[in-house]
Structure 1
Amino acid sequence: MKQRNSTKITGSLYLLACLILLLGFSPFTVAQAATDSPTSYQVVFDPEDGSSYKDWHKVTVPEGGKITDRPADPQKEGFVFEGWAYAYEEDGSPMLWNFETDVVSENTTLWAVWGKTCQVVFDPENGTGYSDWYKVTVPEGGKITDQPTDPQKEGFVFEGWAYAYGEGGSPMLWNFETDVVSENTTLWAVWENGTIVAFDPDDGTTEYPDFYKTVVKPGDKVTDIPADPQREGYVFGGWAYAYDENGKPLLWDFNRPVGDENMTLWAVWNKAYLVVFDSENGTEYKDWFKLTVSEGGKISVKPDNPVKDGYVFNGWYSHLDADGKPVYWNFDKDAVTGNMTLWASWSREDNGNHATGGNGTAGADNNSAGNIQDKTDTSGKNPTTGNEGNYFLGFLAVLGVLSFGTLALLKNQR
């Protein structure tokens, strides 16, 4: 009995030891867990803008961890913020903290690094007061990346921004791709006399102050062109710079450079006529295809051919001749001289449904004499006789006998 109890105790101790090993407990680990705790450090952000320590941003970071919580970039009048330095080189150059890779290993102070800035002022030289001039702040040694839209001045073409003028008064233009700012700078707009091109819509309602105008440098082409104007009952034909002796407009070629004299271009209007396509298939007028064509012009756009049940579409005709036959419109040659209607011409459809057959009777029975199909099997296979069913019944009978015999043998063995 004692031996059995001893065996039970030994087994219990063995199981307990295994459990301890599985869970990772030991006297040493328990003691270490009681004494060890994770180490963390304080990181302080000094904005170096005159604020006191109590207002500085402070965070706690685990040893070996990255700084994920940092303040918004500070502001300082006349300077631009460049980053946070954890130390400085011998020559005073800041060593910036890399928040993507650097990790904390001790209590740390990060100082704001400030770069000197310069103010850049854009003087449009078009009468605008200083308070409305465009101004930007740029880091010393940096490029100007923010500039205003090109200014406007009546009768002049804007050439660019000058930072100084040469001995002959020629402007020295600022190159925004390469030039860098080293001090407070003023840039002056450079203007050159231009040619004013006015577009007169000649529509009887628009007055000169509302004409579309653009200023072009002499020798350049007119590239700023208004949208084509609209006029009731007319089609716009282009812009004329003059008219010949017969009153025919001379259209301006926009690939041609302008001179040094201001000019006006007049809209050319051609009398327009309404062309209506009457499909004569029951469609109401409001749904008819309509278009406007200039006087003497050809009809270049037409609707899809209409459809009418039981009829064939022949074409579009403008009138009937003396015999009452339609005179078809020739879209390649005929010109429009007034408002007009084109009518659809139709011919009755010839269905061609003539019944033919051996007995002359449409719809004859397919099983009538001469049409009876031969049902003889020519596959070469023997016809089904029904023996497959007899084979299946015999199989079931044999299976039953075998099952009964097996049960009887098992019973006798008991």
Structure 2
Amino acid sequence: MQEYKKDYLKTNYNKIIVFCLILFFGIGLLFSSNILKEEVKAFYPSSPDEVILTLNGDMLTPSGPAVSNPGHITWYYYRVPYFVTNNDFSNEAIVRYQERIKKFEENEIKAINLNDFTWEANTVYTLWLFGNIWDDNSVFISNLIYYVPGRTVSNEPINTPGYSYKLSDKPKGSNDDLTIDGNIVTITGNSIAGDLKISYFSGVDNTFGTLAVGHVDDVDVNVSIDLSYLPLAQYTAYKVYFEGLDYYSNPVVMPEWIYSISPMLPLPTAPQKEGYTFVGWYYDEEYTQPYIDGTPIFEDTTLYAKYEINTYTVTYILNGDTYRIDAVTYNSYAQNFEISQTGYTFSGWHTDAECENPYDFNIPVKSHLTLYGRNIINKYTVTFDANGGIVKSGNAVQIVEYGKPAVAPIVEREGYTFKGWDKVFNNITNDLTVIALWEINKYKVTFDANGGIIKSGDAVQTVEYGNSAIAPVVERIGYNFKGWDKSFSSITGDLTVTAQWEIITFKVTFIVDGVEYDTITIEYGTMFYENKSVQEILGTLSAVYSDAQKTSLFMPTSAINEDITLFAEVDASLRGWLDFALWFQKYWMWLAIGAGVLALVITVVVIKVKGGK
């Protein structure tokens, strides 16, 4: 059995060796994969606010929620001897591979003293804390701390912007380059290896030195580094350059740049010049070669201040809104112009929004200026002419804004009907007189002949207000026309005018014994014997004749239509009375006079008698 085993071992020795090698290789691969996994995870930060590093002196101290509860987390302090760009932990961003300097197991995390570690002189280190939670493969990564042994440390970007000035250009035909844009340094090259270096001269302590701040190793590179994160001093000149080898071990030196956090020369405050703005300092009086702030001065130099004349804005505000903005150079003049708008009057330009203080355009502009103007709407006078009528209500004279309507008053005129106005006034654009239009009233005038007839003219007439009607010619048999009962010289309404007549009368004279016995009046158309007065007279007469010879008795058969004289004989029984009546008719005047004288005498006598007593 022992021999078998020996033979088996001899026969399978190589196989056993191969198996063991495979076993150890697998274990090593597994272990190495875990380490790679650990290192790769370090490149991807998560929740940086969960753990914060601060450096006080040489003590690097962690804090934050993840540190307060560190269970199930393995903590590692890392450093990279050059620079991690933009807080990026990816492989491409770390210019030299990271180095773990301290490890803490679960439930433990402490500050570390940087003096416990070895550092390369004049080298920028990036420090951070990495926490690995194995249960769920999550990680915590702190902020970055930038550290230069023996120099200033910073964990925040420098607020002051950097100044850069290029000293030389890259060699012709070279594909390698170093550029600075603000604070960002960019290295580009093909298969190069070497260091980005900064040599410095401090204007504070007059010291010299060189910092290695970045490394690339035989790769095609395009790496950017933000210098504002580096612990650099103010008033210190830094010369930024790249030094290394290409793929064929040929020296590579990229162009040099002068870089400073603040200008090396504290330039004087630019002298003030009224109406001008300081542009900058120039090396020449023609202002063709500007001096760039931060450029080191290595010799006696005269700098010339350049000014540009100020340009000010003149803002024109019209009716509360910006109308236009002009650019006017110092000590020149604002433009005075009017704004034409139909129906408006421009107020001019003023210095106040109320447009009470006019601006004097003869004063030169020396600052920003705001001018105010208004387009004031025109107002016009509208006069309503009643044209012979009167205004019952409303205003005859009105002030109306441009484009607005006037309000017509109510008018009336006796004898007329209102027909409107002679012009429209719904859109007033100037002074205006509007005249009322009237139509004269017409009335019906009727002439009533009142029993007569119209010989000529019109019985019914249409007459305008205030005019007179024309009376027709009328007549009536047996009547005399006496006129009309109403005036029609000024017609003011419908009217009926009636003719006035007076009946014609005839005298009938009775002669008795050659003396007028009596006279009576008989109206036209009256039968002789129907007249009452005739009847009374005939009662006293015995006969009536139509002739003086009393040969023809008066025997009328028709109405009286003319004056007539009749001759009569008195009834004998009335003869004495008739004689007395004739005598009295002849002498009645003398009898009256005598009676009056007698009455006077009696009165005088009576008065005297009474007076004597």
With structure 1 as the length reference, what TM-score do the two structures score? 0.28
Higher fraction of strand: 2
Q: Which has the higher contact order (CA 8 A, sep 6+)?
A: 1
Q: Which has the larger radius of gyration?
A: 2
